[in-house]
Amino acid sequence: MSSTLTGGCLCGAVRYECSARPLMSGNCHCRDCQKSSGGGFVAVMAVPAASLKIEGQVKYFESKADSGNTFSCGFCPECGARLFGKSSGEPRLAMIAAASLDDPSVYQPTLDFFTSHAQPWDPDPSYRLSGDEFGSI
């Protein structure tokens, strides 16, 4: 059985495959992820950049992170699906949006980032610091 991860955008213009296992899997709740996805968080996997092969044209939107690094968010110019991320601070790593996988069920998050920006309507209870008001879910 192959451990290759495969996926692509909504319209199919961009396809990718990754030959390595994710080094890190987590949900990012930062405002950039919320703004770019329209959801409460983006599920991302970090993989060695050298293991990621991309077919098709990807457009990158760059923004400055709080760390001073430039974060580039890669998306399909045809359908706008958000697929990749990379930081100037760690060029050996590439981020893949887990929901773009052909089989997103292989994603196993172990971390939540920027939970201070998590929205109260976000249903994932795993990062709640106070259980009281959300105790019933």
What is the DSSP-derived secondary structure letter of residue 49?
G
111 binds Zn ion (CB under 5 A): no
101 binds Zn ion (CB under 5 A): no
Minimum distance, C-beta of residue 132 to Zn ion, in the bound complex (Å): 27
Q: Which of residues 14-33 bind Zn ion (CB under 5 A)?
A: 28, 30, 33
- Residue 67 has φ and ψ, to the nearest 5°, of -70, -10
Binding mask 54-93 for Zn ion (x = CB under 5 A): ----------------------x-xx--------------
Q: How many residues form the binding site for Zn ion (CB under 5 A)?
A: 9
Q: Which is nearer to Zn ion, 53 or 131 (CB)?
A: 53
Strands 24-28 and 111-113: parallel
DSSP per-residue codes, the chain: ----EEEE-SSSS-EEEE-S--SEEEEE--HHHHHHHSSS-EEEEEEEGGGEEEES--EEEEEE-TTSPEEEEEE-TTT--EEEEEETT-TTEEEEEGGGBSSGGG----EEE-GGG--TT---GGG-S--STTTT-
Minimum distance, C-beta of residue 71 to Zn ion, in the bound complex (Å): 8
Minimum distance, C-beta of residue 34 to Zn ion, in the bound complex (Å): 8
96 binds Zn ion (CB under 5 A): no
Residues that bind Zn ion (CB under 5 A): 9, 11, 13, 28, 30, 33, 76, 78-79
